[in-house]
Amino acid sequence: MAKNFKNDAITSRDENFAQWYTDICRKAELMDYSNVKGFIIYLPYGFAMWEQIKNFMDRRFKETGHSNVYMPMLIPESLLQKEKDHVEGFAPECAVVTRGGTNELEDPLIIRPTSETLFSELYAKQVKSYRDLPKLYNQWCSVVRWEKTTRPFLRGSEFLWQEGHTVHATEEEAREETLRMRDIYVETCRDLLAIPLITGRKTEKEKFAGAEETYTIEALMHDGKVLQSGTSHYFGQGFAKAFDIKFLDKDNKQKYIYQTSWGASTRLLGAIIMVHGDDNGLVLPPRVAPTQVVIVPIQSQKPGVLDKAYEVKAQLEKAGIRVSVDDSDKSPGFKFAEAEMKGIPVRIELGPRDIEAGHCVIAKRNDGTKTTVDLNDELANTVLKTMDTIHEEMYAKAEEHLRTHITETNDYSQFGEILDTKGGYIKTNWCGDQECELKVKEDYQATSRCYEPDEASDDAVCPCCGKKAKHIIYYARAY
């Protein structure tokens, strides 16, 4: 009955995906705009999703030995300049504080665009001996990068994220850490957000400013475009040498440390919206949903209906389920549409006749199916199982979409049509030259998303230049 009740409020995905996205952000009350361009307001519903992501990742960071810290928001311009590649990457997008209190500042201060320089400076002080290693710090904060084109969650002048920064005695350990944290991002996407990924390394052109290697997780959106959703960097000894981070090793020699950093941001909220959403609104994976179940009483003025609704609520809460009762004076149809817009995974409908018959109706947001189930002690278990099923179904659907949108081809003349019609990834060979990457970008507005080094077959050639290929590479149009 609720179908198409409120959908008119949002543009259809196929009609205008960008407008659909913005509509969802606003109508599901995830965010609002402030008066400063690129600085958004995270409203309760959007922020609650971020809190779920934070809790999930933070637990895993702590389980793998990391501690949270908080570093200053402001970085002296002179400090940012210490690592050459790093400052070149970030200088053009800095917000600069030139006045503090009543004084003009001599050394202007940058609002952190990222905090490698601050962590490097701290580690240079803290690390003296191999006994002080590794140092495994993380911080949750917001960063500022001045952007010209901004979109909610996807690209903003300020965004929320975590940035982990670690130093190690050996290259091997640092490399392991880089991959370990990449794997936690993969786990977060798979187990919390029901998002399958392509992972691999960034090319020289696309990697992080100052990194030796950048590992990325890339998620495919419904419209065939790709979203970089988290990165993990291996720095080698670049910052160590620029900041003189040395330690006395067991063999009594002074050595430079090996360093990593890794970050994931509120971009993940954008990924959730664009991977799972539909024309009725958000579709939330149950584990990240702020409200997992909404109970909608039917004919709630009839005696016993509301009482039963609260009874069921208490029962589900006891099982750890995040549940609410919509006891507003709106019509059931309106309530259904609202719950759909908000992407609440499970809706329980409960009317006088249901109660009399001792059952209720469970509706799944992801596919609209309804089941009648008994109102008994098993209800909470049934709901928990239903949520697991929803998670699996959503993951499988997204994985199928991903699988069918990876086009393997070595025919350069096909690139344009593939990208224009079905989108997704082109999986192909690459010689390793940046020129070919640039050519793809110029010809087809697609960027290299990641590559697997040394994986091309012996007779493979680069489709761009015809030279012998070294690597497998993924190209796509990206956010």
Q: Which one of residues 106, 125, 318, 377 is an interface residue with a second copy (CB under 8 A)?
A: 125
Smaller CB separation from a second copy, 109 or 348? 109
Q: Smallest distance from the beta carbon of 442 to Zn ion, in angstroms?
A: 14
Residues that bind Zn ion in the complex, under the rule CB under 5 A:
431, 433, 436, 462, 464-465
**Taking CB under 8 A as the rule, does residue 320 contact a second copy?**
no
Query: Do β-strands 254-256 and 246-248 pair in parallel, antiparallel, or remain unpaired?
Result: antiparallel
The one of a second copy, Zn ion, none whose footprint includes residue 137, by CB under 5 to 8 A per kind, is a second copy
The one of a second copy, Zn ion, none whose footprint includes residue 431, by CB under 5 to 8 A per kind, is Zn ion
Largest separation between any pair of C-alpha atoms in the chain: 81
**Taking CB under 8 A as the rule, does residue 56 contact a second copy?**
no
Q: Where are the alpha helices (DSSP H) in 319-376?
A: 332-341, 352-357
How far is the C-alpha of 173 from the C-alpha of 258, rounded, in Å? 8
The one of Zn ion, a second copy, none whose footprint includes residue 142, by CB under 5 to 8 A per kind, is a second copy
**Taking CB under 8 A as the rule, does residue 137 contact a second copy?**
yes
- DSSP conformation class of 302: S
Smaller CB separation from a second copy, 66 or 233? 66
Residue 250: Cβ within 10 Å count: 9
**Taking CB under 8 A as the rule, does residue 262 contact a second copy?**
no
**Taking CB under 8 A as the rule, does residue 101 contact a second copy?**
yes
| Amino acid letter, 231 | T
Q: Is 199 helix (H, G, I), strand (E, B) or coil?
A: strand
The one of a second copy, Zn ion, none whose footprint includes residue 67, by CB under 5 to 8 A per kind, is a second copy
Q: Which one of residues 42, 208, 415, 444 is an interface residue with a second copy (CB under 8 A)?
A: 42
Residues in 148-167 that interact with a second copy by CB under 8 A: 148, 157-158, 160
How far is the C-alpha of 169 from the C-alpha of 150, rounded, in Å? 40
How far is the C-alpha of 389 from the C-alpha of 189, rounded, in Å? 17
Q: Smallest distance from the beta carbon of 67 to a second copy, in angstroms?
A: 4
**Taking CB under 8 A as the rule, does residue 142 contact a second copy?**
yes
**Taking CB under 8 A as the rule, does residue 122 contact a second copy?**
yes
# residues near a second copy by CB under 8 A: 52
Q: Which one of residues 3, 59, 84, 99 is an interface residue with a second copy (CB under 8 A)?
A: 99
Tokens matching residue 155: 């690209």
The one of a second copy, Zn ion, none whose footprint includes residue 361, by CB under 5 to 8 A per kind, is none
The one of a second copy, Zn ion, none whose footprint includes residue 282, by CB under 5 to 8 A per kind, is none
How far is the C-alpha of 327 from the C-alpha of 172, rounded, in Å? 57
CA proximity to 235, closest of 177, 286, 277, 274: 177
Contacts made by residues 44-50, CB under 8 angstroms, sequence distance 24+: 45/290, 45/342, 46/153, 46/269, 48/290, 49/269, 49/272, 49/284, 49/288, 49/289, 49/290, 50/160, 50/266, 50/269
Q: Assess contact for 138 and 61: CB atoms under 8 A.
A: yes
How far is the C-alpha of 74 from the C-alpha of 95, rounded, in Å? 10
**Taking CB under 8 A as the rule, does residue 70 contact a second copy?**
yes
Smaller CB separation from Zn ion, 322 or 439? 439
**Taking CB under 8 A as the rule, does residue 348 contact a second copy?**
no
Q: Assess contact for 138 and 20: CB atoms under 8 A.
A: no
Q: Which residues bind a second copy (CB under 8 A)?
A: 32, 34-36, 39-44, 47-48, 50-51, 67-76, 79, 92-102, 108-109, 111, 118, 121-122, 125, 137, 141-142, 144, 146, 148, 157-158, 160
